[in-house]
């Protein structure tokens, strides 16, 4: 293994989990998140020797992940979806209430348009401000604000509903 | 009233909950998780033009058929295949009883209404081969396709499609399932695995993916292959196929720059007017060729 590959492997070991978390929130399920993460990591691997690692590799990787997520619709090939795709099972210790909220949020996230979902994940998971989110998604500040407003309204409705149960 | 902080906390809880623990459901999808890229295509199209085929019958049922894809005119019809048209497939080294047991183990994890005992009984083993992920067993029924991966002892992983006739081919060679996956996430080599069906005259299939090339024999009208590819090829490579008969003649070539390539028609139809899925929708008035009978 060459030095750069060791660097890459160390980065994946340390930061791959966070990237996977972002992928999960973007996709709304872990299976698609795994696919997305692996595709993004492959692209990162291929460009590892040419990217400016003096800058933020995390930001670069996040951008790759985001572009991959948003570009998926435009790919010349299709993903295959097995007809038998059982839902995720609850994790150990996942209390019923928390599980219900998580499942409801997953469903709400999946129901959002892709760009709107990406805006929420960047704003509230990756902690980017409006300008940085707009730059990452290549959209205007105004679009970020309106997408945030609409997306939050949808998620709040879910959270409110779960809270009052 | 929920505020922004609640949304952040909710996201954190969702991520912290993590994926489900290894369960039968997880095992069922484990093969898919490792995959980098899945390609479903027919070689009736140019190499770069990827189209969903048999597996798409389940995944993208809306693309083809359902009455919307009936072309305005078709060529002469070929006779409908009969279940008794071909002898039962024989796979050396695997008895019918063993094949049934393998299919049962794979389908034991599947919760899908299609797989009634009758549907399971229709499956026949057509091919088997070793891949880096384990041994793959390929089953077909009249309207079923099952790819069963035996990864490790007791670990069986199914992929399947249902509801699409397997009695017809969209041309001399149809790819039912093709996947490019692998490095570098799991730090292993990339792999291209492919399975498909051919007309009776074809005895071997030459598969090219990037710089890798492999020729595999046809068994019971089917072929399957697993070949190592690079990470670059996983993302950017495109497979191409050549089907050869016993005299070495190229019966089918998928790439337009191959001298043996013949421009495919827009569509293939069975005698009753059903379009054989190859990922494309014929336009009104388009002339389709008769679908090619498989077995």
Residues A70-112: tens digit of each pLDDT: 875 444 333 333 323 333 333 434 445 566 667 777 777 777 8
| pLDDT band with cut points at 50, 70 and 90 for residue B217 | very high
Tokens coding A142: 């105004």
Cα–Cα distance list, A85 to A32, B27, B29, B136 (Å): 11, 11, 7, 20
Chain B residue with CA closest to A42: the answer is B184
B33 — contact with chain A (CB < 8 Å)?
Answer: yes
Q: Which residues of B touch A88 (CB under 8 A)?
A: 19-20, 25
CA of B34: how far to CAs of A28, A38, B184, B256, in Å? 18, 8, 11, 32
As a whole number of angstroms, the distance between CA B107 and CA B119 comes to 11
Closest residue to B36, CB basis, from A42, A88, A124: A42
The pair phi, psi for residue B135, each rounded to 5°, is -90, 130
Pick from A17-26, A153-162, B4-13, B180-189: least confident: B180-189
Q: Which of B2, B33, B184 sits opposite A156 (nearest CB)?
A: B2
Residue A4: the pLDDT is 81
Which residue would you say has higher pLDDT here, B241 or A51? B241
**Which residues of chain A make contact with B2, given a CB cutoff of 8 A?**
156, 159-160, 163
- Closest by CA to B17, choosing from A33, A117, A121, A95, is A95
In whole angstroms, what is the distance from residue B295 CA to residue B283 CA?
Answer: 29
For the question of an ipTM over 0.85, the answer is no
Q: What sign has the CA pseudo-torsion A57, A31, A92, A163? A: positive
Helix ranges restricted to H, B18-139: 24-33, 56-59, 96-107, 117-122
Across the interface, do B21 and A163 touch by the CB < 8 Å criterion?
no
d(CA B257, CA B118): 45
pTM: 0.54
Q: Does A41 contact B185 at a Cβ distance shorter than 8 Å? A: yes
- B185 has a chain A CB within 8 A of its CB: yes
Interchain contact B5–A (C-beta under 8 A): no
| CB atoms inside a 10 Å sphere around CB B278 | 29
Sign of torsion over alpha carbons A16, A18, A21, A22: negative
Residue A151 has a pLDDT of: 87
CB contact under 8 A, B160 and A86: no
- The H-or-E segment that residue B39 falls in is strand B37-39
Q: Is B205 helix (H, G, I), strand (E, B) or coil?
A: strand
Q: Take residue B89 and report the two structure tokens written for it.
A: 């497939």
For B106, the closest chain A residue by CA position comes to A84
B100/B125 Cα distance (integer angstroms): 8
Are the C-beta atoms of residues B131 and B226 closer than 8 Å to each other?
yes
From residue A114, how far is each of A64, A147, B6, B94, B289 by CA, in Å? 16, 10, 21, 47, 39
Closest residue of A to B5, CA-based? A124
Q: How confident is the model at residue A60 (pLDDT cuts 50, 70, 90)?
A: confident
Cβ contact B110–A84 (<8 Å) = yes
CB nearest A25 (choices: B14, B23, B235): B14
Q: Between chains, do B28 and A37 touch, taking CB under 8 Å as contact? A: no
Does the pLDDT value for residue B187 go beyond 60?
no
Question: Token pair 């599947």 is at which residue?
Answer: B110
């Amino acid at each position: 293994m060459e030095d750069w590959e060791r660097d890459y492997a160390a980065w994946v070991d340390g930061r791959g989990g966070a990237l996977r978390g972002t992928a999960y929130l973007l996709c709304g399920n872990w299976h698609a998140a795994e696919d997305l993460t692996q595709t993004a990591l492959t692209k990162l691997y291929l460009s590892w020797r040419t990217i400016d690692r003096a800058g933020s590799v995390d930001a670069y990787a996040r951008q790759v992940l985001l572009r991959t997520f948003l570009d998926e619709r435009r790919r010349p090939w299709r993903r295959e979806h097995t007809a038998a795709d059982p839902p995720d099972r609850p994790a150990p210790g996942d209390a019923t209430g928390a599980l219900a909220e998580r499942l409801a949020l997953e469903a709400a996230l999946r129901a959002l348009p892709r760009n709107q979902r990406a805006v929420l994940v960047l704003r509230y998971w990756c902690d980017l401000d409006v300008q940085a989110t707009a730059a990452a998604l290549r959209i205007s500040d105004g679009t970020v604000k309106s997408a945030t407003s609409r997306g939050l309204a949808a998620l709040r409705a879910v959270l409110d509903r779960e809270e009052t149960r | 009233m929920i505020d922004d902080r609640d949304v952040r906390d909710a996201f954190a809880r969702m991520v912290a909950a993590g994926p489900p623990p290894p369960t039968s459901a997880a095992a069922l999808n484990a093969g898919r998780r490792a995959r980098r890229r899945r390609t479903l295509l027919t070689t009736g199209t140019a190499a770069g033009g990827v189209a969903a085929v048999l597996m798409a019958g389940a995944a993208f049922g809306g693309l083809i058929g359902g009455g919307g894809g009936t072309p305005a005119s078709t060529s002469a019809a070929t006779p409908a295949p009969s279940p008794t048209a071909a002898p039962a497939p024989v796979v050396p080294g695997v008895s019918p009883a063993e094949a049934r047991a393998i299919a049962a183990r794979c389908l034991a994890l599947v919760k899908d209404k299609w797989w009634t005992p009758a549907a399971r009984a229709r499956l026949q083993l057509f091919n088997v081969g070793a891949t880096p992920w384990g041994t793959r067993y390929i089953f077909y029924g009249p309207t079923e396709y099952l790819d069963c991966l035996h990864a490790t002892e007791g670990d069986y992983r199914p992929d399947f499609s249902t509801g699409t006739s397997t009695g017809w081919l969209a041309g001399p060679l149809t790819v039912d399932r093709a996947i490019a996956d692998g490095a570098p996430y799991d730090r292993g080599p990339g792999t291209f695995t492919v399975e498909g069906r051919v007309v009776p005259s074809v005895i071997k299939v030459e598969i090219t993916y990037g710089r890798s090339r492999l020729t595999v024999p046809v068994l019971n009208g089917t072929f399957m292959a697993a070949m190592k590819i690079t990470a670059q090829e996983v993302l950017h490579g495109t497979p191409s196929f050549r089907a050869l008969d016993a005299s070495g003649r190229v019966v089918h070539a998928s790439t337009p720059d191959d001298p043996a390539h013949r421009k495919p028609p827009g569509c293939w139809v069975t005698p009753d007017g059903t379009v054989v899925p190859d990922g494309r929708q014929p336009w009104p008035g388009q002339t389709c060729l008769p679908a090619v009978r498989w077995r």
